[in-house]
Structure 1
Amino acid sequence: MLKLIVTTLSLLTATAAYAQTEMTVSSLATDSETNKAFHKMSKGHNLPDWVMKGGTSTPAMRVTVDNKAYQVVSACKPHDCAAEQIAILYSPDTKSMSAVFSKQSEEGYQQNLVWLNSRSDISIDGRTVLFAALSGSLQNHPDAFNFK
């Protein structure tokens, strides 16, 4: 019985540690390792509070763009994902980020995209990955968005 409790506690501790290290949009915005790059990327843009506080997130995905490894994270406005979304392309090697923020018109007829880039050289492939993260295509076809 004691062995079962110890094993269960070890499993819970490992699960909690994994959950704390899971990359999300809000963790990129607030983590001491990445917040400087996040604020540089979003400077001059008025992002809604849910971005920093944590929206409804998808798990991070790994992609290759221009032979470089990136993590892609996305999130949406809680309880209204169709209205507002954000996707971020993050390079763990260079700690740089690029993103796209999407806001749907109230009538639902127009999607406005705001590109947030900490570097001006984001390729069309990088923009394609970001838009695919917003649309769900990246999650549905992850191997189709690796650009070597």
Structure 2
Amino acid sequence: MKLSALLGVMLVVGVTVSAAQADPATFNTYSTDPNWSTRLNAMFGKTSKPDWLKNATSSEAVSVTMDGKPYTVLLACKKHDCGNHQLAILFDNAAIYGLRLEAADGSPRETLTWFNIGGGPESIDGKTILYAAITGSLFNHPEAFAFPVKK
């Protein structure tokens, strides 16, 4: 095999391996995008963004359908205290919605803060998707979260 052909094969294999090793899309990877971070900050409005988001643990993005349109869901939680401090984000290119959960160890009480929930499909299906992300149901059954266009 000629050296140039061998180098070409090595280059293709190297590209394939590096693409396979790319990090999955998570809250942390989206946070490195300045445009997405601006949208996230705007979502919080006058509510302070939790400090723990800077070093959050995050899960891989999940694709869902709301009102017949594709959306992405991200989940982030406080490192070493995921059960008590979580943030779920539902977004597409035009909209961003969120749910923040705060709780205390051993307490059955949860404090839920909803962001950008209005009177559209996010007021029912969006809340369902966001809470399902917090509980883990979305990640266990992603195919169940494909909501068609409302008639």
Give TM class, smaller chain: 0.7 to 0.9
Deviation per residue, 1:90-117 (Å, 9 max, x gap): 103x2x2101010112442211111112
Instruction: For 2:18, give the aligned amino acid.
Output: T
- Unpaired segments ≥5 residues, structure 1: none
Aligned residues: CA RMSD: 2.2
Q: Which runs of 5 or more residues in structure 2 are unaligned?
A: 1-5
Give TM-score, length-normalised by structure 1.
0.81
- Mapped contact 2:64–2:72 kept (Cα < 8 A): yes
Bigger Rg, structure 1 or 2: 2
Paired residue for 1:67? Answer: 68
Distance 1:55 1:74 in 2: 9
In 1, distance between residues paired with 2:140 and 2:19? 28
Match of 1:50 in 2: 52
Instruction: Report whether the alignment pairs 1:144 with 2:144.
Output: yes
* 1:1-148 alignment runs, 5 A limit: 9-16=14-21, 18-19=22-23, 22-51=24-53, 53-92=54-93, 94=94, 96-117=95-116, 120-121=118-119, 122-148=122-148
- Secondary structure of the residue aligned to 2:25 is coil
> Is the CA contact (8 Å cut-off) linking 2:61 and 2:72 kept in structure 1?
yes
**Identical positions, percent:** 35
For residue 110 of structure 1, what is the amino acid of its counterpart? R
